[in-house]
Structure 1
Amino acid sequence: MAPWSTYRRVAGIGATALITALMVAACGGGGDTTASSPSEAASAAGGVKLVNPGKLTTCTNIPYEPFQFQQGDKIVGFDVDIVDLVANKLGVQQEIVDIDFAAIKSGAALNAGKCDVAAAGMTITEERKQNLDFSVPYFDASQALMAKKGSGVTSLDDVKAKGLKLGAQASTTGLDYVKSQGFEPIEFADSQKQLNGLQAGRVDVIVQDLPVVLTWLKKPEISAEYEMVGSLDTGEQYGIGLKKGNTELLNVVNEVINQAKADGTYATIYKKWFGTEPPSNS
């Protein structure tokens, strides 16, 4: 397997200003979604058009360990390695743009030509399908509750009964789920701020994707004080997002994911980041 590519992080932009700017850019051409910039005419292998020549540009939201996070001067993670397979197939390098998740899930970043794909531990939902196209699923996910040891919490019912403060990451399916259960959680912009909020006592319990919680708890300084207190089987699957109608690139992404699962590459990457073999249905 070829060495992983080098990545460059582009500084994030505030959510409100970013989304506004992206929506204006996406809609300002009288509804024409065809790329108009010279760089977007650049093509990779198979005639796939890319927003930047020689690069597969990926929008993500950092940190979201182990899917994408900063390690030294690189951005690494499970999602990074999966998309790198696509970049290798196209004969280009992956470049990562770190922006607010709301701009990713809305399709605004893709529509504005900020990136070719979005890989951010993003659950496939019917609502999001209205704004962007998804690849075949590449990860099965569920939610987990995390709290200080000895909290006595084992479920959302306990959170409600004890009158505890619940925290969730903004714009996520975890947030949507607890809201559907009657909660009005404190929202955090990203997963690290959410963890910080728990550690600082702003909230008593947090809801987050299970793999993220398990990754946090591998760190001795966190597992010494905190634990996973419950799981929520929400039946979620992650997909790589693309601008609606970008069929050529979507076909390549799907081909790469399916091939990686068939030839064992997916299992190797999965074990690298999660320490176990992928579920048999993955």
Structure 2
Amino acid sequence: MTAGGKRAPRARTRTVVTACAASAALLFAAGCGSGDDGPGEAKGGVPVVEKGKLTTCTHLPYPPFQFERDGKIVGFDVALIDLVAKDLGVEQKILDTPFENFKTGASLNSGECDLAAAGMTITDERKKNVDFSIPYFDATQALLASKKSGAKSLADIKARKLKLGAQAETTGESYAKSQGFDPVAFESSDAVLNGLRTGQVDAVVIDYPVVQGWLKDKANADAFVLGQNIETGEQYGFSVKKGNDKLRAAIDKAIKDAKADGTYNKLYEEWIGPLPKAGS
């Protein structure tokens, strides 16, 4: 994807295998059994767009929340929604769709998906189009810059007239614009990183956990420097179609249960890293 491109990738159906064992050849199949296509109902009378499945729309890749590893879609969001699917007695199925569809609720309203899980910040504007679960993650933005730029803050970017990038349609892009920048918009987080690697931009604003993941790669750690953390008060939520109260309640319950029994902390440490210090 070139700088500023917004070409939406074609939706790809991928099944996250959780309820049954399957070979790698089945990872791109419709599921673990023949089943009947079409709408159904999960435990508790929760409606689902495909019988026996909880269909999640996301936008790949967005590590550590959702990304492909060894032929499977994995990540923090994936693991949390697997808990919801288990409670409902169904299997999670993931569709890779354009991120902008989540903001409008298009994928939910069309019956393509039951929910969206994409490291998505809860905002008043988005609440007009979708219903959100309770927050499941406190997020901050971060500035990542090439070492040769010498930039460590947005003030440095502005003073030195450097090029700033962000992922299109995200709160990172919105924040950069609110600070008077006209950031180069990239379609995916991978494209953001590639833009930084190839010199299309000198620095980027993106979610801090994503930067953490990038810097685990020695090549990235050698080339880039973590600048300022940007506290925006953001919280992530999973979204459902307006009025889908049964599914929203099921998601809320799974999040609360996971926090109560320690599962949430284990998943956080597995996919995100060390837990935040109390009061930080």
Q: TM-score, normalised by structure 2?
A: 0.86
Q: Does 1:169 align with 2:167?
A: yes
1:227 aligned counterpart, secondary structure: strand
Alignment of 1:240-259 (within 5 A): 240-259=238-257
Corresponding residue number in structure 2 for 1:129: 127
Q: What amino acid maps onto 2:265 in structure 1?
A: A
- CA RMSD, Structure 1 to Structure 2 (Å): 1.8
Q: Does 1:275 align with 2:273?
A: yes
Q: What amino acid maps onto 2:93 in structure 1?
A: E
Alpha-carbon distance, 1:71 to partner? 0.6
Whole-angstrom distance in 2 between the partners of 1:230 and 1:275: 19
Corresponding residue number in structure 2 for 1:76: 74
Given that 1:9 and 1:96 are in contact with CA atoms closer than 8 Å, whether structure 2 keeps it comes out as no
- Once the two structures are superposed, residues 114-147 of structure 1 have per-residue CA deviations (whole angstroms, 9 ceiling, x without a partner) of 1001000000000000000000000000100111
Given that 2:165 and 2:204 are in contact with CA atoms closer than 8 Å, whether structure 1 keeps it comes out as yes
Given that 2:138 and 2:234 are in contact with CA atoms closer than 8 Å, whether structure 1 keeps it comes out as yes
Q: What amino acid maps onto 1:118 in structure 2?
A: A
Whole-angstrom distance in 2 between the partners of 1:161 and 1:262: 47
Corresponding residue number in structure 2 for 1:39: 38
Corresponding residue number in structure 2 for 1:86: 84
Corresponding residue number in structure 1 for 2:9: none
Whole-angstrom distance in 2 between the partners of 1:208 and 1:247: 31
Residue in structure 2 matching 1:147, options 141, 145, 148: 145
Alpha-carbon distance, 1:279 to partner? 5.1
Whole-angstrom distance in 1 between the partners of 2:62 and 2:175: 19
Corresponding residue number in structure 2 for 1:112: 110
Whole-angstrom distance in 1 between the partners of 2:151 and 2:255: 38
Q: What amino acid maps onto 2:38 in structure 1?
A: S
> Which structure 2 residue ranges, 5 or more long, are not aligned?
1-16, 21-25, 30-36
Whole-angstrom distance in 2 between the partners of 1:58 and 1:43: 15
Corresponding residue number in structure 2 for 1:19: none
Alpha-carbon distance, 1:224 to partner? 1.3
Alpha-carbon distance, 1:150 to partner? 4.2
Whole-angstrom distance in 2 between the partners of 1:192 and 1:156: 22
Whole-angstrom distance in 2 between the partners of 1:277 and 1:144: 18
Aligned residues: 252
Whole-angstrom distance in 1 between the partners of 2:255 and 2:85: 12
Alpha-carbon distance, 1:277 to partner? 2.4
Pair 265,101 (structure 1): closer, same or farther in 2 beyond 3 Å: same
Residue in structure 2 matching 1:60, options 58, 65, 68: 58
Whole-angstrom distance in 1 between the partners of 2:46 and 2:277: 32
2:135 aligned counterpart, secondary structure: coil
> Which structure 1 residue ranges, 5 or more long, are not aligned?
11-37
- Once the two structures are superposed, residues 169-214 of structure 1 have per-residue CA deviations (whole angstroms, 9 ceiling, x without a partner) of 0000000011011111110000000100110100001010000001
Alpha-carbon distance, 1:39 to partner? 1.9
1:62 aligned counterpart, secondary structure: coil
Alignment of 1:96-245 (within 5 A): 96-245=94-243
Q: TM-score, normalised by structure 1?
A: 0.86
